[in-house]
A and B are shown apart, each in its own frame.
Chain A
């Protein structure tokens, strides 16, 4: 393994319990370890395993200590759910690239009519003000094409792989996908990874 040096690179995953965020953070971090980096990851969630907001902080580099990304320091935001991206807004650096799945999961209070869910347009506009670039798409439909909406998490890892600034190679991420996902779902997840990658490239270079 070649030892690579990089000072700091921070990836934040924002989603809802049950979307498989933790598996994505494990895949990315496993790939980072394979790449020879120092890695720290924090999965931050409340008491319930389902339904609440979940943030995964992934930090890579020689200069990092704490597993939680300091505010305004995320280089990439992987947003699994639109309003969860807003909830994570304070972490975005002005140079951040945000990859956002546009399919909402409505909070209970919205479903009951107690709170309003902001329009997608409003969400994206705000993210554009806070980040450098926003790549958005209904990634659930991509995951569905790969075979199961539950592969959203790996689809998003594929999307991440398309970023030039990422210090981890695409092949290493794919290797980590194969290692981390349950063996039975391997083929489908490889498909999801590739489709996430291709679809994001299309947004980048239409």
Chain B
């Protein structure tokens, strides 16, 4: 709530600490946004939740849409009615929007339409590190690329202005290191006057066969305007110095370069071209090329600018040395940082490495050697842990333990890290558990194919696959891990929760009804905290001739704990009776709750009292009844 108050402050000039995503949200609010849409995805999620937290106050429609494509189209529709709208999403979410993007780019837009996309270099919380600038290139739309959180707020405001000036959607490219960094941000005035929506009919909105070449031409004519904008925009800046080296740095890498040059004492010698747009500012690049002998290019993910600089060199007939990712002078994968950038600069300039103190070197090496890894885990008492146990157990009863877990995106993905052997055999993208599961099942493979998918994910991306499975008679078991939240990204509500982004009650979409409507005959709901009963149902489901759907429903443990704290409910604590425990390790290995450890010396299991959340599942899986509830605590 405190954050909502800060975000809503109309006190221009005040400096406040904001998360990059909050700064983006604030930028949109200052710009007078009226419609904001998104689907949760790290690292972009807080943009919409921040706007939603003040939506009522500023009369903004803020929504979590069913998926990114719907979010994109909804925001675009609002902009066609002349309003300022923004869709915010993660890089792979933009893949869902490729279809509408590649038509709406030709129609253009009449209000201001901003697409805030958060890339994840290093893939800290994603399936890939994908460069969104390719979408800018493909759709021939302008993309702004701020270098930090403070610039991000201003870039969003600029994007709204440029979108209206150009009559085109404008992207803002963010990266994890901007979204999830905090900075002192100077508040600007909030535009409070609201526009009245009006839709002006016209051929441009109908991208029917026969429409495109003319609109495509219009888009090509717009490229000249974009080039002009890019040439004069404050986000691009050339700092010429006397040395032979020129550094080109796009987006966030500018901050790494500035720090690195400062640390290396090269501030006064190396020219720097800061790039904050895609397409890149050709005139400034040409100017840099005329002043230096060597160019070193830093950009996150793919070497787009680097290739273009080579093209420009060719056009100009100049031959400076261009170094970067393509020449292996800059680290190709993973996110860059000050240290990797320093290393590249030192190598390209052939400066001697300042050698570390050898005593320090060996201490660092030792530290690295003795540090045990810390794997990602499910939370203690997580209903997903129980569901995985139930599936595994049923697999032994129905198919001699031969199960293929066709995985999906969400907390249950951690089934890969949390268990040995992993309980996620494949993982690609939203909804692929069912699609890929259909294919595995249709292959005639002997194993039971189990698609594991969350409540939010099946609504986002699973329904066409579900219909496909039933229509094409795939022998597939779909287990919906329904914990009542989009937990992985921070507990956003979704259509299955009956609550909107702004906390209002709404129609609750029921997953059982969806499954039945898609033609699935075997649809059952289980409670993962009732182990034996659930195993029976899942075993039966595995024996069905066609597609079957199990909804394993239990509130996310973290949500339950929050609720318990609010409502003064007590949590139970469990303990292992060391006299009874035979050391069989079923609770440790097969269930795998992280609150249970194993005491090697005494060959017994033990429950960590601080970690146990009292779900009681371990007590049900122990074959000798060695685990008991000991007390209840608040």
Contact = CB atoms under 8 A, between A and B. Distances in A.
Contacts of A42: 177, 180-182
Nearest to B371: A86
B376 A52 contact: yes
Nearest 5 pairs between A and B by C-beta? A111-B597, A65-B255, A115-B372, A67-B181, A41-B182
B124 A46 contact: yes
Interface residues of A, number: 60
A110 to B, nearest CB: 5
Contact of A94 (B147, B360, B366): B360
A106 B597 CA distance: 10
Given A30-B17, A48-B414, A126-B363, A53 B374 contact: yes
24 contacts: A30-B17, A33-B184, A42-B177, A42-B181, A43-B182, A46-B125, A48-B376, A50-B377, A51-B375, A63-B262, A66-B259, A66-B338, A67-B177, A67-B181, A86-B371, A87-B374, A108-B375, A109-B373, A110-B372, A115-B373, A118-B372, A126-B366, A126-B367, A129-B359
A194 interface: no
A113 B600 contact: yes
Nearest to A184: B565
A176 to B, nearest CB: 9
A48 B556 CA distance: 14
A116 B370 CA distance: 8
A38 interface: yes
Contacts of B373: 107, 109, 115
A116 B372 contact: yes
Contacts of B254: 65
Interface in A54-93: 63-68, 70-71, 73, 83-84, 86-87, 89-90
A52 B181 CA distance: 18
Interface string B484-501: 000010100000000000
Contacts of B16: 33
Contacts of A109: 372-375
Contact of B182 (A29, A38, A70, A116): A29
A67 B256 CA distance: 9
Interface magnitude class on chain B: 35 or more
B50 to A, nearest CB: 15
A26 B17 contact: yes
Contact of B181 (A33, A43, A115): A43
Given A51-B376, A51-B594, A43 B370 contact: no
A179 interface: yes
A188 interface: no
Contacts of A112: 588, 597-598
A50 B379 contact: yes
Contacts, number: 168
Given A39-B184, A47-B488, A107 B375 contact: yes
A68 B337 contact: yes
Give the secondary structure class of A's interface: mixed
Interface string A108-143: 111111011110001000100110000000000000
A50 B556 CA distance: 13
Nearest to B42: A47
B258 A65 contact: yes
B183 A67 contact: yes
A83 B180 contact: no
B409 to A, nearest CB: 10
B311 interface: no
A139 to B, nearest CB: 15
Residue from B148, B359, B376, B490 having most chain A Cβ neighbours under 10 A? B376
Nearest to A66: B255
Given A109-B373, A112-B588, A70 B338 contact: yes
A39 to B, nearest CB: 5
B3 to A, nearest CB: 10
Nearest to A94: B360
Contact of A129 (B148, B363, B411, B490): B363
Nearest to B418: A108
B342, B364, B598 interface centre (most CB from chain A within 10 Å) = B364
Interface in B505-549: none
A33 B610 CA distance: 35
Max chain B Cβ within 10 angstroms of own Cβ: one of A63, A110, A111, A129 = A111
A29 B259 contact: no
A47 B411 CA distance: 9
Contacts of A126: 363, 366-367, 370
A110 B342 CA distance: 36
A121 B594 CA distance: 27
Contacts of A67: 148-149, 177, 181-183, 255
B339 interface: yes
A43 B182 CA distance: 8
A57 to B, nearest CB: 8
Given A107-B372, A111-B594, 8 more contacts: A29-B182, A40-B149, A40-B183, A43-B180, A52-B377, A65-B259, A67-B148, A113-B598
